[in-house]
Amino acid sequence: MSRGLAGLTREIEACRACPRLVAWREEAAAHPPRRYAGETYWARPVPAFGDPAARLLLVGLAPAAPPHDTAFWHALATKEFVVPEGESVSALALEATELLSSPDPKLRDSVAFDALARWVYVQGLVPPDGLEALRLRLQEGLGKGLGESGTDSAYGRSFSALALSITAAVDLKSPWMTKEAFEDLLAATTRYLAAEKDVRGFVAGAGWVHAAAHTADVLNFLGRSPKLTPAGQARIVEAVATRLRTAGVVYAWGEDERLALALLSLTQRSDFDPKPFEAWLAALAAENAALWKNGPHIDPAAFVPVRAQRQALVHLAALLAREEKAPDAFRKSLNAALAKLRG
């Protein structure tokens, strides 16, 4: 029994399951109280089991630190998000994710998102384990209230996606994601793009929702990654095509151009595979033919998805025209396919 408790003690001391607690421990170890100056101080969890023959085991959990109020966050913004002494940047980053769902556009966009952009990407202050904890927290945010439309829950989902784009961008600059984490993020992002029902762009007084655009930003960075497989390329193309086909709107707030940028990222790869695009263009040609088979007597409900897809692909063609290293054969086939689409 004593050997079992000793092993459990070692396991608890080495545990890193709670990113916030780990971040606090490491911060405390780096800056110990003055009374411990010159001594080893690493703020490890200290189990105190007492008698190994005891018949009752009590487990205590450290309470989470109370979240900071909005005044703290607004003050942080005025100081250009300099991390206050005694605070953990990893813990603050996780806390900032809770503000991404705020209906207040300043708190959501100019404070919470800007803080994450500064700490995660611009300054690179969040270590890999903190980035992984942040990724998992933000992926959870993609599912909160999913299926709702026109409600405030959309802000949290959409801005979770936008913040995930930062974590993906950092991985291009300083790789931190494992292959498994990358695949998990790609799967979560493509699922969310297909499942989001709220297609609002900008809401007067409440700011941007812009879910499709924010999700496209994640795919844009994932599309550039050396971790992306040919199957992953196909998954991105299919996800974008499906979103345009099922959104029920022709996007008016620039979402289609952001989706086109995600597609462009694939065409810039040395292992670019045009086959998923060819399959999409063939399907779109068939949809377009069905739409116009009776001449001007069209089904308006069928017009919208065809137009939405065409519009995004026109943006892609324009982007390719400006690229010096665009794959010439694909560029020509895309332009030829678009020329055949009526309307």
Both 315 and 239 in a single domain? yes
Number of Cβ within 10 Å of residue 120's Cβ equals: 22
Both 192 and 252 in a single domain? no
Both 280 and 308 in a single domain? yes
| Residue 127 CA, distance from chain mean position | 17
Residue 171 covered by a domain = yes
Both 184 and 234 in a single domain? no
pLDDT at 1: 44
pLDDT at 315: 98
Chosen domain end from 157, 177, 199: 199
Distance CA 125, CA 131 (A): 10
Longest dimension (CA), the chain: 87
With b for 16 or more beta-carbon neighbours within 10 A and e for fewer, the 57-82 pattern comes to eeeeeeeeeeebeeeebeebbeeebe
Q: Of the candidates 320, 313, 304, which has an alpha carbon nearest to the alpha carbon of residue 338? A: 313
Both 86 and 171 in a single domain? yes
E strand or H helix that includes residue 165: helix 153-173
Specify the number of domains making up the chain: 3
pLDDT at 21: 72
Backbone phi, psi, residue 103, to 5°: -75, -10
pLDDT at 9: 67
Both 164 and 245 in a single domain? no
Distance CA 181, CA 330 (A): 31
Residues spanned by the domain of 10: 1-54
Query: Which is it for strands 202-203 and 207-208: parallel, antiparallel or unpaired?
Result: antiparallel
Global confidence as pTM: 0.81
Both 234 and 190 in a single domain? no
Both 249 and 332 in a single domain? yes
Residue 178 covered by a domain = yes
Both 92 and 39 in a single domain? no
Residue 47 covered by a domain = yes
pLDDT at 67: 86
Residues of the chain falling short of pLDDT 70: 1-6, 8-9, 20, 24, 27-28, 30-66, 343
Both 171 and 86 in a single domain? yes
Residue 204 covered by a domain = no
Chosen domain end from 179, 199, 219: 199
Q: Of the candidates 141, 169, 168, 167, which has an alpha carbon nearest to the alpha carbon of residue 153? A: 141
pLDDT at 46: 62
Q: Of the candidates 313, 309, 222, 211, which has an alpha carbon nearest to the alpha carbon of residue 260? A: 313
Both 164 and 267 in a single domain? no
Residue 1 covered by a domain = yes
Both 103 and 176 in a single domain? yes
Residue 25 covered by a domain = yes
